[in-house]
Structure 1
Amino acid sequence: MSAIRFKPYKGPSGGWGSAYSVTNILFREGAPIEGTAALFKQNRPISGFACVSCAWAKPGETRPLEFCENGAKATAWEVTSHRCDAEFFARHRVAELLNWSDYDLEQQGRLTQPMRWDAATDRYVPVDWQQALQDIGSRLATLGDPNQAVFYASGRASLEASYMWALYARLYGTNNLPDSSNMCHESTSVALPESIGIPVGTVTLDDFDKTDGFLFFGQNTGSNSPRMLHELQHARKRGAPIITFNPLRERGLERFVNPQSPTEMVTGAETVISTQYHQVSIGGDTAAIAGICKALFELDDEAKASGQPRVLDVNFIEEHTHGFDAFEQRIRAYTWGALEKRSGLTRGAMEATAHVYARCERVIGVYGMGLTQHRHGVQNVQMVVNLLLMRGNMGKPGAGVCPVRGHSNVQGQRTVGITEKAAQVPADNLRQQYGFEPPAENGVNTVEACEGVVAGHIKAFLSLGGNFVRAAPDTYQLEPAWKNLDLTVQIVTKLNRSCLVHGRTAYILPCLGRTEVDVQNGIEQQHTTEDSTSCIRAWRGVAKPASEHLRSEPWIIAELAKATLPNPQTPPWDAWVADYSQIRDAIAGTYPETFHDFNVRMLEPGGFHRPLGASERKWTTETGKANFIAPKTLSVDDDIEPSAERRDVLNLMTIRSNDQFNTTVYGYDDRFRGILGTRSVILLHRNDMARFELNEGDLVQACTAANDGIHREVGPLRVTPYDIPEGCCAGYYPELNPLVPLWHHAEKAKVPAAKSIPITLRKTIAVAVEKTPVEPIPPHAVNG
């Protein structure tokens, strides 16, 4: 960890800062040679491996170096020379490790062999693979009610492993298959089918080359999907405007120097990314988009009155949409004063966007979790679609909606069955293929799984990757309840907090990582993933496995299934593990429309895309058309909002640094925000600091402003002035997850509303934080 400093960053995204950061982590992980060799194979079609990090699309014709800063960090993190072996666990009790930070836990390196928690010593001890698998299977088989077990999946697992995991759970008898989509983009999965008939975006990389402009909402490209900056840079150089709406000014959407361009690196030539940048208030997106729509109606009125071409695409609206009249009536009824107050923007800002949008013929609407992780996240997404439909920007080249997914295969695992919703399961196909009756009852999503653990209804939790306990909301309520589970199983590559907050019986099953060669039956196996643009591609690992005791995820799932299920021969688990192409044949049998000829098409240059009806103006909605859905409210949060009576309430959004991916923290330097050496900060507008009588460097406790009888508090946090709208504040995920109540989630989608948390601040003590590192108190310490 570097010394704690707060120094505004004046450089662009990319550039020498990115190059230095990549070099630094390769050496810190003790893998300068191995890591560099792996990077040359990263995102290479067929012969290389799919990035462990984000889900952004890979071009069919790859660049010389097809990785970004954060993708390189993820690779270095996985090919590290550090090892977390049996000797490490022999030296440390679990109670001790619970006091370690997320960074320090994962920095111990790759897990090397299966481990079982020993209650007598409070240590993890080595265990034989078959002994572990048989014990887990036996405990699951005797659990009684299959719905007492949860089968969680992170976005890391391949399509092959995800399909097997979903089938294993359903053969066991449950649809309890929550996943990381439940924590981020479930609002998308609920909103888009209602609006356009599919649960995913409609654009591909080809559309990025054909578009006239972009509208960005709630997405931090520079930290969360940096490879997209290449496409945005190309668009800007041909003159396409990019209009951004974000509470914070994110450097990746301001300025970019391509670190793979020798000319730009030598000259420092920067590309300005956003042509307009509007700092919308946290949760004010619906109001901001409504303002743009209102301005478009007014422009259209002027065009009609003067006999000019219409601003609205009237022909498209009449032929392809439903609900326009109700939507128009709702938007026209909003006053500019209400829209300005709720959005935090001026009328002029919203009109400026409308004027530019009206001059573009083909526009892509891009958004991230800044829209989805709200109480009205579903409405936010549908407002983006409404805005695109007004000018026919759906179902034509260079136009459409683009939700930017997070983890590498988080979208793909849904495509092959990771879902708690029974209606989305092709039960007839599964019944015909495997001769069993798939469970017809809905399973639990992430929030419901947490509620079940707290209530004691859930008895076993199996996790295929991820760090669920750390990623989940309401940490202080969840962690004590987690220890009452009968069984917890973590299939992971590194030690994390979810391994330490465990049940009465607990196992750590270490698996191969994305970067590693997977040999089964003497054959090097291929895997597949789906990216944010619904493109499915083949890949293979290139690095030597970190330990001879590691097993692939498909092998682990197959062995667990054989140990658990009454008929271990159906499906043919052993044959599948010996040849992953047979798994892909099975996937094609279950999902023939998407995966026909899977083993052939996955090898095509650039892969193949799943069917996207809306991109061809085929609307599989109840109305048979694309639906305008009028917003129900401009409110940010129906639970509690800042008001004249509650001026002490701030609206908090959790953020990620450019030195982390999801819960994985690569370091304590958030270069773009100028925060170095710490994550224990809260970012405030100077006016809010003044009215709360706070000075830079003061320490505060952040408390959830909800009257539900439960006290939620995190701190101490260093008060740090920042360019953020008044009444808003920001702090790091996952450290601030304890402030998100389980019930504080998106309507219909149940995504934790981590981007709009009502909080109050309480001043504690003032110290020279620059000299004394202060990290948030671990949850178990607060709970005694």
Structure 2
Amino acid sequence: MSKPHFVEPGGPAGGWGSVKAVSTVLLKEHIPFKGAKALAAQNKVNGFACVSCAWAKSAKPHPFEFCENGAMATAWEITAKRADADFFKQHTLSELESWSDHELEARGRLTVPMRWDAATDRYLEVSWEQALKEIAQELQPLDPKSAVWYTSGRASLETSYLYALMVRMYGSNNLPDSSNMCHESTSVGLQESIGVGVGTVVLKDFEQTDCILFFGQNVGTNSPRMLHDLQDARKRGIPIITFNPLRERGLVSFTNPQSPVQMLTGQETVISTHYHQVKPGGDIAAITGLCKALFELDDLAIASNSDRILDIDFIQTHTSEIEAFAAYVRQTDWQNIEQESGLTRSELEESARIYSQAKAVIGIFGMGLTQHRNGVHNVQMLVNLLMLRGNLGRPGAGICPVRGHSNVQGQRTVGITEKPELAPLDKLAELYHFEPPREKGLNTVESCAGIIDGSVKAFISLGGNFLRAVPETNQMEAGWRNLRLTVNIATKLNRSHVIHGEVAYLLPCLGRIEVDRQATGEQTVSVEDSTGCMHGSRGQAEPASEALLSETQIVARLAAAIFPDQKNVDWHAWAADYSLIRQAIEKTYPSIFPDFESRQWQPGGFRRPMPVVNREWNTSNKKANFICPDDLTADPDTRIFETEGPLRLFTIRSDGQFNTTVYHLDDRFRGVYGTRKVLFISEEDISGHGFKDGDLVTVTTACNDGVVRKVENLRLTTYDLPIGSVAGYFPECNPLMPLWHHAKKSMVPAAKSIPVTLSLQA
């Protein structure tokens, strides 16, 4: 690790910095040749699906179909480093609690199943048979409602299907997953607006679009392979209009590492033709301004007897509630729009004019829209904007939420959901002869509340680092220690493993990149990407340990242990031959997975049914619905505190990070090296609050609910972001987030606008 230092950020995304980062991580994980071989198969047909982001896989892949972060994820998984039984003999869990997230995961792959020993405070090796038997014995006497079964978003379709079935046979719908923490606002908002909970855009649409709107998504670190599609669009002269509080490098310019000309000459492609640094929580106001400008342009067109700006045929034929929405937009004055968005009327009118001239427009967004109190309305406002011009059900147009984990959308597709209405319970009852529970299960926020108040007794996690990803860190860690049972299925060590319940097991699994050999031979799995396309994935690397079981094996064997007398599911047969699971998925979801076994290897994947493409709307009224927001700001709570002077904190990821996994402590896009203890702040705010660059501060949440939430020793770093806001890294700033501060309807933690105050470190 380098000594913390700070430089002026600059330069494009990609380029030689990306090449250096890839080569460095392969050397650091001691896999220069093994890693290079694996990367050649990444996101290729008959290769493996990247274990990091869920961006779409092309039918005609590039020679190197991976990005910098994808390469880091691969190297992180097939590393030569090991956290084996000897490692745990040398370290108590109390000692490991003092290690950072990066230090824990950097120890390498877990190799043997382990159980916590209270006498020595260490994880000790245990046999698979004994571990699964004991876990089943702990679970059987519990009220099923008191056990939570979490999934992180990387498990395959096959494993996810088994996991969801096992949990429902156990008697619970407590199936929260990482969607609850990021894109649940998307699922709720889109379903109400257009009748589907996922995006409507595929890669081909990027070739046909003539304008792209970008909201709250950092493509340079969260889905860098999308930069190729954006670069191709810019080469065709397509305008890209971005709304984001920070000027992220990937949305400013890009040097393609696979372009010899750009690499040798230093050429850059400008990505955003217009870049609006909207205030955190100001997206509803910004989109309202765009819509208001469109209505005004349409009024001028009517007055001059010119072609209408609004797509009246689409609106009248396919939508509902345009009158209420038009009234909302027209009665909202420009002064309020400018105040809440942080943008000027002229900026919004210019972008609306460009949008009005485009025939096919894609609206892309990420957690910058979803992680707000009114995150659902954020999403619905973007849909409203697209509908005004008929940009749904048209080639080159549509809504494009960018998912995070590589199969988080697919998990939901095959039954990982706490909402019983989204699962085919009648079909499961028919196929497996049991009565599935019909009560709503716990989502992520509700699970956290149950852990804190003690009503949750057991937590089983299929991947992930739940304890670090959720709000209310201090209360959560205290509640976590009071759990009766914690079980973690994982490839690497993290904080959710070293903080533990009374009885704790750590079960190591194969990674997706590793060859999975079962009784019937080598197995393959499948995933769904962010555009709703399904892909097969075939492991390439030798397993990190002979003792590892696949996630599918672990789930199947645990189910067999929990239900020893259950005769309607042959768990062992499924574990031996994953094609049998795919047959079961096809029977359960026949409209989504016809001919699943053969179609999973189709170049580019096969797409799930998308009625919106045919302008069919599976809403209650069979129309696409204009929905008005409750408030002009996405975070009305923060307005209460503004007279007292707090700032709005929004959390961000670094370029050396994917979700809670921190690959290294550098963030070259923001000029930060060797540390994550940073708080970014504007030059105006740093002086206006009486601080200077480099000061160490304590950040405290500005709310009066009786709970003190603070993070200490963050270094103030001057950066270009909207006045009145600060940015800090996730998950380091999670202790500042109240559990109640979540999106209405979707209950996604509102991490993008937390009112905070600063004080000099004592």
Q: Which interval holds the TM-score relative to the shorter structure?
A: over 0.9
C-alpha deviation, 1:566, in angstroms: 4.7
The residue identity in structure 1 corresponding to 2:83 is C
Could you tell me the percent identity over the aligned residues? Answer: 60
CA distance in 1, matches of 2:113, 2:552: 16
The SS at the match of 2:573 is helix
Aligned partner of 1:774 in structure 2 is none
The residue identity in structure 1 corresponding to 2:740 is W
Aligned partner of 1:662 in structure 2 is 659
The residue identity in structure 2 corresponding to 1:36 is A
Aligned partner of 2:236 in structure 1 is 238
Aligned partner of 2:736 in structure 1 is 739
Q: Is the aligned partner of 1:295 residue 2:268?
A: no
C-alpha deviation, 1:764, in angstroms: 1.3
Cα distance per residue 1:152-180 (max 9 Å; x no partner): 01111000000000001000000000000
The SS at the match of 1:670 is coil
C-alpha deviation, 1:623, in angstroms: 1.3
CA distance in 2, matches of 1:642, 1:745: 16
CA distance in 1, matches of 2:753, 2:642: 19
Aligned partner of 1:351 in structure 2 is 349
Cα distance per residue 1:245-299 (max 9 Å; x no partner): 0000000011001001112111111100000000000010000000000000000
C-alpha deviation, 1:514, in angstroms: 1.2
The residue identity in structure 2 corresponding to 1:111 is L
Q: Work out whether residues 641 and 755 of structure 2, in 8 Å CA contact, stay in contact via their aligned partners in 1.
A: no
CA distance in 2, matches of 1:382, 1:89: 49
CA distance in 2, matches of 1:515, 1:235: 32
C-alpha deviation, 1:642, in angstroms: 6.4
The SS at the match of 2:636 is coil
CA distance in 2, matches of 1:569, 1:76: 41
The residue identity in structure 1 corresponding to 2:673 is L
CA distance in 2, matches of 1:553, 1:404: 26
- Higher alpha-carbon deviation: 153-162 or 566-575: 566-575
Q: Is the aligned partner of 1:342 residue 2:348?
A: no
Summarize the alignment of residues 241-260 of structure 1 with structure 2, pairs less than 5 Å apart: 241-260=239-258
CA distance in 2, matches of 1:600, 1:284: 46
Q: Work out whether residues 712 and 761 of structure 2, in 8 Å CA contact, stay in contact via their aligned partners in 1.
A: no
Q: Is the aligned partner of 1:477 residue 2:479?
A: no
Q: Is the aligned partner of 1:119 residue 2:118?
A: yes
CA distance in 2, matches of 1:73, 1:568: 42
Residue among 708, 733, 742 paired with 1:711? 708
Aligned partner of 1:92 in structure 2 is 91
Aligned partner of 1:262 in structure 2 is 260
Cα distance per residue 1:722-754 (max 9 Å; x no partner): 000000000000000011111000001000001
Aligned partner of 1:62 in structure 2 is 61
Cα distance per residue 1:89-143 (max 9 Å; x no partner): 0010100000000000000000000010000111100001100000001111121
Summarize the alignment of residues 302-701 of structure 1 with structure 2, pairs less than 5 Å apart: 302-641=300-639, 645-647=643-645, 649-701=646-698
Q: Work out whether residues 640 and 706 of structure 1, in 8 Å CA contact, stay in contact via their aligned partners in 2.
A: no
C-alpha deviation, 1:640, in angstroms: 3.4
CA distance in 1, matches of 2:195, 2:147: 32
The residue identity in structure 1 corresponding to 2:348 is M
Q: Work out whether residues 638 and 648 of structure 2, in 8 Å CA contact, stay in contact via their aligned partners in 1.
A: no
The SS at the match of 1:130 is helix
The residue identity in structure 2 corresponding to 1:407 is H
The SS at the match of 1:653 is strand
Q: Work out whether residues 317 and 392 of structure 1, in 8 Å CA contact, stay in contact via their aligned partners in 2.
A: yes
The SS at the match of 1:525 is strand
Aligned partner of 1:720 in structure 2 is 717
Aligned partner of 2:24 in structure 1 is 24
Aligned partner of 1:779 in structure 2 is none
C-alpha deviation, 1:569, in angstroms: 3.6
C-alpha deviation, 1:567, in angstroms: 3.0
Cα distance change, pair 57–644 in 1 and its aligned pair in 2 (3 A): closer
Residues matched between the structures, number: 762
The SS at the match of 2:732 is coil
CA distance in 2, matches of 1:500, 1:330: 51
The SS at the match of 2:591 is helix
The residue identity in structure 2 corresponding to 1:543 is A
Q: Which ranges of structure 2 fall in alignment gaps of 5 or more residues?
A: none
The SS at the match of 1:582 is helix
CA distance in 1, matches of 2:633, 2:54: 31
Q: TM-score, normalised by structure 2?
A: 0.99
Q: Work out whether residues 94 and 123 of structure 1, in 8 Å CA contact, stay in contact via their aligned partners in 2.
A: yes
Aligned partner of 1:279 in structure 2 is 277
The residue identity in structure 2 corresponding to 1:496 is N
The residue identity in structure 2 corresponding to 1:37 is K
CA distance in 1, matches of 2:114, 2:328: 59
Q: Work out whether residues 642 and 650 of structure 1, in 8 Å CA contact, stay in contact via their aligned partners in 2.
A: no
The SS at the match of 1:370 is helix
C-alpha deviation, 1:614, in angstroms: 1.2
C-alpha deviation, 1:644, in angstroms: 5.9
Aligned partner of 2:752 in structure 1 is 755
C-alpha deviation, 1:420, in angstroms: 0.1
CA distance in 2, matches of 1:538, 1:78: 19
Q: Is the aligned partner of 1:108 residue 2:107?
A: yes
Cα distance per residue 1:533-579 (max 9 Å; x no partner): 00001111000000000000110001100111253443111111111
Aligned partner of 1:772 in structure 2 is none
- Higher alpha-carbon deviation: 416-425 or 569-578: 569-578
Cα distance per residue 1:51-93 (max 9 Å; x no partner): 0110000101111111000000000101100000011100101
Cα distance change, pair 646–232 in 1 and its aligned pair in 2 (3 A): same
The residue identity in structure 1 corresponding to 2:407 is N
Aligned partner of 1:44 in structure 2 is 44
Residue among 206, 209, 234 paired with 2:207? 209
CA distance in 1, matches of 2:106, 2:640: 40
Q: Is the aligned partner of 1:79 residue 2:78?
A: yes
The SS at the match of 1:695 is coil
C-alpha deviation, 1:603, in angstroms: 2.1
C-alpha deviation, 1:234, in angstroms: 0.3
C-alpha deviation, 1:2, in angstroms: 1.5
Alpha-carbon RMSD = 0.9
The SS at the match of 1:588 is helix
Q: Work out whether residues 473 and 739 of structure 1, in 8 Å CA contact, stay in contact via their aligned partners in 2.
A: yes
The SS at the match of 1:669 is coil
C-alpha deviation, 1:428, in angstroms: 1.3
CA distance in 2, matches of 1:639, 1:340: 19
Residue among 168, 171, 181 paired with 1:170? 168
CA distance in 2, matches of 1:255, 1:61: 24
CA distance in 1, matches of 2:201, 2:359: 15
CA distance in 1, matches of 2:715, 2:214: 30
Aligned partner of 1:10 in structure 2 is 10
CA distance in 1, matches of 2:689, 2:313: 54
The residue identity in structure 2 corresponding to 1:28 is K
Cα distance per residue 1:9-58 (max 9 Å; x no partner): 2211000000001111111111111111110011111x211001100001
CA distance in 2, matches of 1:2, 1:350: 43
The SS at the match of 1:507 is strand
C-alpha deviation, 1:452, in angstroms: 0.5
C-alpha deviation, 1:520, in angstroms: 0.6
Cα distance per residue 1:310-344 (max 9 Å; x no partner): 00000000000001000000000011000000000
Q: Work out whether residues 525 and 580 of structure 1, in 8 Å CA contact, stay in contact via their aligned partners in 2.
A: yes
CA distance in 1, matches of 2:488, 2:572: 22
C-alpha deviation, 1:403, in angstroms: 0.2
Residue among 147, 151, 154 paired with 1:153? 151
CA distance in 2, matches of 1:638, 1:11: 36
The SS at the match of 1:592 is coil
Q: Work out whether residues 190 and 197 of structure 2, in 8 Å CA contact, stay in contact via their aligned partners in 1.
A: yes
The SS at the match of 1:671 is coil
The SS at the match of 1:594 is coil
